[in-house]
Structure 1
Amino acid sequence: MAKAPTVEDVAERAGVSRQTVSNVLNTPDIVRPATRERVLEAIDALGYRRHAAARRLRLRRSSTIGIRLDPYLGGVSGVVLDRFVHAITERASERDMRMLVYAARTADEEIARLTELWEGGEIDAAIITGTVSDDPRVGRLDAAGLPFVSFGRPWGEDDIADPLHLWVDVDGAAGTHAATAHALTFGSRTAFLGWPEGSGTGDDRERGWRDAVADAGAAGIRLVTEDSVPHARRSVAAALAGGMEADAVVCASDSLAVGALLAFSDAGRRVPVIGFDNTPTAEALGFSSVEQRPEDVAGAVLELMMGPTGDVVAPRRVQSGSAHALITPELVVR
């Protein structure tokens, strides 16, 4: 196996000292342009660091994208974003880009951290996740001039017909529509267990259920609770105690699905329950769930940010029809 080139190899080829090579790699502005160019040519010729160092210096780019590492939630939640972070890291690496993962507990902390990284030249762009209605991060990042793509719609002025930003999202309504169509094969009384009104993502998923029930002329039962197993268990138990009769239940998340299954079990009943997220919990417990395909989301995010095959940040022009990507999820039936 050929030995990987070293700093000493680069220095010898360029006719400079080892320290000069180090300066070019770490503090290029202190090196004379002619010397710096000679070192960069040696780096290219030898393939030192797979050309990444030379490219970053030439383009005055960090070749780095920032993304927040969400707090560990435990339980059922968080799996989709974990998969997304892994997928975006792998796919960015294929384009000779790096991911810089940072922590932030609030939107304000995230904005401050991203602004610091952007102004310090440590990132060329950012990916934001977990968008909410009228997301405060969007306007602040616009003002800072930081290019970004969001995983999730900003759920505000931004929409499909007149977009203001680049975003990729999973078509939640399509997912719950498919789940509801499957649920209706068990009977005409289909319940939906969702989140309180006002969550863009939750409202979108509920819309898919409503449309499918209306298309079938079936009876719909709507239950609302917080996104946790205990809350879902109590909500469904209360509905059952009140006389609810449902042939199947479609849920806005796998956490809600687990709670519903426990409530039916407590009541001595077996009713098909369909979740959303297709977490390992859904597979382990054997209930059907909607797969979001975060690996496809990662590919779409990078295409909006860098083009189909690009290796530098060059965000797509924001215009109707090409500023967003909606990933169609897949119902996994068990």
Structure 2
Amino acid sequence: MAKAPTVEDVAAHAGVSRQTVSNVLNTPDIVRPATRERVLASIDELGYRRHAAARRLRLRRSSTIGIRLDPYLGGISGVVLDRFVHAITERSSDRGMRMLVYAARTPEEELGRLAELWDGSEIDAAILTGTVRDDPRVTRLDALGLPFISFGRPWGDDDISDPMHLWVDVDGAAGTRAATTYALEHGSAVTFLGWPSGSGTGDDRERGWREALAEAGAHGARVVAEDSVPEARRAITRALEDGIRADAIVCASDSLAVGALLGLADAGKTVPVIGFDNTPTAEALGFSSVEQRPEDVAEAILHLLMGPTGDVVAPRRVESGSAHALITPELVVR
């Protein structure tokens, strides 16, 4: 009996990469029309049957969870995700599961890769990172029927009151509330250096600062910068030149905190600066920071994803409060 054609056979016949074939099958809109037609012609000519093969393979479990390896961007704050990937790999092994780490440059490429791995029964579930408001990956994975959980809320309307998806997040507001309460020991004017509005994570961290100020009857300026040391340095320099009073500065990340320290130094000022992420940079430079505890995030993710039986939980609507976990971060004072 002749061997059934594979994705590799289709790729070789069409003269394209395996990833291009996967894109044609899963995200055809991102493939140039001429290339797409060539791949589809090869599929027809070879008699490739993707879904039938997937059904046969899916009779067996892979005991594998897929997670994207984020592109290396350098900088300071990426250390948190590195710690998380290390922790989830170690803890999944303790539960008899393996982690499959894959690369993808865009959400579309990530979705194509996940669909390919799921159709080939190479993974039983996936972990999403870097979630954004109304994350498009959520509905696409729902349609695939692929069980998944995210590190970070999908930031939709139902995330808390009527959750439909599994997620674990760090309580950013709790972290900045603790940081602001500590900062208020140094004066009543506490500045917040955060990202532009619109990101769920950034807005959540800003909320904690506002709540702590309101509770204390204090005040402070909000300064905005992209997550870049030079941008943060320029933003604080401009704010100081404009005459803001800052008895302390609470920052949405350690990258922003380093920029704030440089801006203060340029102006010949010294006030407490508190970061968020507790990276090795914070320890080396000696400034206080909020520890996200990614190892606890990893443990919570596996607990929710695998359930009490140790099997991957199928996609489902669940009761409010049972689909997610918020990890309370810890302020590390230096």
The TM-score, its normalising length taken from structure 1, stands at 0.81
Larger Cα-atom Rg: 1
Distance 1:295 1:61 in 2: 26
CA contact (8 A) 2:146 2:315 kept: no
RMSD: 1.4
State whether structure 2 residue 152 is matched by structure 1 residue 159. no
CA distance in 2, matches of 1:186, 1:137: 44
Residue in structure 1 matched with residue 189 of structure 2 by the alignment: 189
Count of residues paired in the alignment: 277
Deviates more, 1:317-326 or 1:162-171: 317-326
CA contact (8 A) 2:145 2:315 kept: no
1:16 alignment partner in structure 2: none
- Whether contact under 8 Å (1:306, 1:316) holds in the other structure is no
Aligned-partner SS, 1:169: strand
Amino acid in structure 1 at the alignment position of 2:171 = D
User: Are 2:324 and 1:324 equivalent residues in the alignment?
Assistant: yes
C-alpha displacement of 1:315: 4.6
8 Å CA contact 1:307, 1:316 repeated in 2:
no
Gaps of 5+ in 1: 1-56
SS of the aligned residue for 2:82 comes to: helix
Structure 2: which 5+ residue stretches go unaligned? Answer: 1-56
Q: Where does residue 97 of structure 1 map in the other structure?
A: 97
**Does the Cα contact within 8 Å between 1:193 and 1:224 map onto a contact in 2?**
yes
2: CA distance, partners of 1:219 / 1:211: 11
Match of 1:240 in 2: 240
Matches of residues 181-330 of structure 1 in structure 2 within 5 Å? 181-308=181-308, 310-315=309-314, 318-330=318-330
Output the TM-score relative to the length of structure 2.
0.81
Are 1:150 and 2:144 matched, yes or no? no
Q: Which amino acid aligns with 1:98?
A: R
How far apart, CA to CA, are the structure 2 residues paired with 1:161 and 1:123? 30
Deviations 1:50-96 (A, max 9, x none): xxxxxxx9971000000000011112021110000000000000011
User: 1:68 corresponds to which residue?
Assistant: 68
Report sequence identity in percent: 78
- Give the match for residue 41 of structure 2: none
For 2:65 and 2:158, how far apart are their aligned partners in 1?
23
Q: Distance in 1 between matches of 2:154 and 2:298?
A: 17
Contact map agreement 1:233 1:259 (CA 8 A) in 2: yes
- How many angstroms does 1:191 deviate by? 0.2
What letter corresponds to residue 312 of structure 2 in structure 1? V
In 1, Cα distance between equivalents of 2:312 and 2:142: 16
* Aligned twin of 1:29: none
* Aligned residue in 1 for 2:122: 122
Letter in 2 for 1:312: D
